[in-house]
Amino acid sequence: MQLGGTGGASPFFIHMTLNIAQDHFSLFGLPSAYVLDAVALERSYREIQARIHPDRFVNSGAAEKRASMQWTTRVNEAYRTLKDPVLRAKYLLERAGLDVGFETNTAMPPAFLMRQLELRESLEDAKDAASLDALSTQLARDRHRLETLLAAKIDAEKDLPGAVGLLRELQFLSRFGEEVGGAYQALDE
Amino acid sequence: MAYSDKVIDHYENPRNVGSFEKGDDSVGTGMVGAPACGDVMKLQIKVAKDGTIEDARFKTYGCGSAIASSSLVTEWVKGKTLDEAIGIKNTQIAAELALPPVKIHCSILAEDAIKAAVADYKQKHANELPGAPEKQVAHG
């Protein structure tokens, strides 16, 4: 099906194959799952973007321009959500009516918190790139382990409530990752 | 974002930073974390023979508001009974420090840390408490 062909793009064409109310996964023609085909997401995102990009509607009417803007916002949001391992899991769990409580629930397993304290102490003591590299390696390993467990819970076991705790830990680690990134920057200054 | 003077004061001169010996029977340890910002808070209380909190320590990795909230509650709990301590509300902490809405979760962290520390102490002494289970005490 041709969409927004060279001879004047129309929002009608956009709506023929895309439905703005679609969920993020079906928007990109992807299965609704935690494990993601990143290449397929990228390809589909580029394809859709090329069809809806506001640059294509420079000479179109106001309705077309508006539709293009709406679509661009919608597609970028969906892409950003699916691409990120934390946001993707959060999307899947919240869609199932689960509350991940990032802001409100402060109860985390004591062993996990002990490790977080230790990691932050190590970050405080890390004064050179080599020690930051060692921390980054540990962090990457922890994150990878959690992402593997999340995939097993969500996709294989279909135990979404059981995935909430794992996601909370992954979110925690992603914040710590930002702090490590900040420490690298501080080294350069 | 501008921090209030009280936040800055507690941040620059945090009260009661440090740790008690975790194995000490008179110590209760509470650890909590906020996934949204990645803050970790460890708060300890030392309980006297008469059941009041004689001292407190904290260690917090987080923003200025999280550090100030934990510093403040370590001051507040001293001299309180366990039940008085768990009556401390995050809204009181937020009001005292004039925390903006986006930092309210820092005060929630501090409230929950106190509750966790008291719960840990009570668990350690579960067999000694007279007339257990605990009765609920109204917050005042």
Are A165 and A121 within one domain?
A: yes
* Mean pLDDT, range A99-104, rounded to an integer: 92
Q: Quick check: is A105 in a domain?
A: no
- For residues B136 and B66, give the distance between their C-alpha atoms in angstroms, rounded to a whole number: 28
Q: Quick check: is A4 in a domain?
A: no
- Annotated catalytic sites of B, by residue? 37, 106
Are A79 and A117 within one domain?
A: no
Are A127 and A63 within one domain?
A: no
Are A23 and A78 within one domain?
A: yes
Report pLDDT for B99: 93
Query: In percent, how much of chain B has pLDDT > 70?
Result: 91
Q: What is the mean pLDDT of chain A?
A: 89
- Say whether A172 and B105 touch across the interface (CB within 8 A): no
Lowest mean pLDDT among A1-10, A100-109, A131-140: A1-10
The answer on pLDDT for B84 being more than 60 is yes
Report pLDDT for A17: 58
Are A114 and A172 within one domain?
A: yes
CA distances in angstroms from A185 to A19, A100, B93, listed in the order given: 42, 31, 33
Contacts of B37 in chain A (CB under 8 A): 175
The answer on pLDDT for A1 being more than 70 is no
Domains in chain A, number: 2
CB of A111 less than 8 A from some CB of B: no
How many interface pairs between A and B have CB atoms less than 8 angstroms apart?
A: 61
* Mean pLDDT, range B15-31, rounded to an integer: 92
Q: Which two tokens stand for residue A138?
A: 């540990």
Report pLDDT for B138: 56
> Among B32, B35, B116, whose Cβ lies nearest the Cβ of A102?
B35
Q: Render pLDDT for B115-127 as a digit per residue (tens, 0 to 9).
A: 999 999 999 998 8
* Mean pLDDT, range A175-181, rounded to an integer: 94
Report pLDDT for B136: 55
* Mean pLDDT, range A107-136, rounded to an integer: 93
The ipTM of this complex is 0.78
Q: Render pLDDT for B28-77 as a digit per residue (tens, 0 to 9).
A: 999 999 999 899 999 999 999 999 999 999 999 998 999 999 999 999 99
- For residue A77, the domain's CATH number is 1.10.287.110
Task: Pick the residue of A86, A106, A139 with the most B CBs within 10 A to test the interface with B by mutation.
Answer: A106
Report pLDDT for A171: 97
Q: What is the mean pLDDT of chain B?
A: 89
Quote the minimal CA–CA distance from B130 to chain A in Å.
28
Q: Quick check: is A132 in a domain?
A: yes
Contacts of B120 in chain A (CB under 8 A): none
- For residue A152, the domain's CATH number is 1.20.1280.20
Q: Render pLDDT for A2-25 as a digit per residue (tens, 0 to 9).
A: 344 444 445 555 555 567 778 999
Q: Quick check: is A35 in a domain?
A: yes
Report pLDDT for A3: 40
Are A66 and A122 within one domain?
A: no
Q: Of A20, A48, A83, which marks where a domain is finished?
A: A83
* Mean pLDDT, range A161-172, rounded to an integer: 97
Are A178 and A117 within one domain?
A: yes
Question: Among A187, A179, A189, which residue's Cα sits nearest to residue A127?
Answer: A187
Tokens 């390696």 map to which residue?
A137
Q: Is the pLDDT higher at A174 or at A189?
A: A174
- For residues A144 and A115, give the distance between their C-alpha atoms in angstroms, rounded to a whole number: 16
Q: Quick check: is A88 in a domain?
A: no
Interface of A with B in 21-60 (CB under 8 A): none
Q: Render pLDDT for A49-88 as a digit per residue (tens, 0 to 9).
A: 988 888 888 888 888 888 888 889 999 999 999 999 999 9
CB of A106 less than 8 A from some CB of B: yes
Are A122 and A161 within one domain?
A: yes
Report pLDDT for A38: 96
Q: Quick check: is A98 in a domain?
A: no
* pTM of this structure: 0.84
Query: In percent, how much of chain A has pLDDT > 90?
Result: 72
CA B98-B103-B106 angle, to 5 degrees, is 100
Q: Of A83, A100, A126, which marks where a domain is finished?
A: A83
Q: Which two tokens stand for residue A18?
A: 């895309």
Contacts of B36 in chain A (CB under 8 A): 102-103, 171, 175
Contacts of B108 in chain A (CB under 8 A): 104, 106
Q: Is the pLDDT higher at B85 or at A12?
A: B85
Say which amino acid occupies A102.
F
CA distances in angstroms from A34 to A45, A65, A97, A118, A149, listed in the order given: 18, 34, 16, 30, 11
Q: Quick check: is A96 in a domain?
A: no
Say which amino acid occupies A130.
A
> Among A110, A114, A171, whose Cβ lies nearest the Cβ of B35?
A171
Containing structural domain, residue A171: 110-188
* Mean pLDDT, range A135-163, rounded to an integer: 97
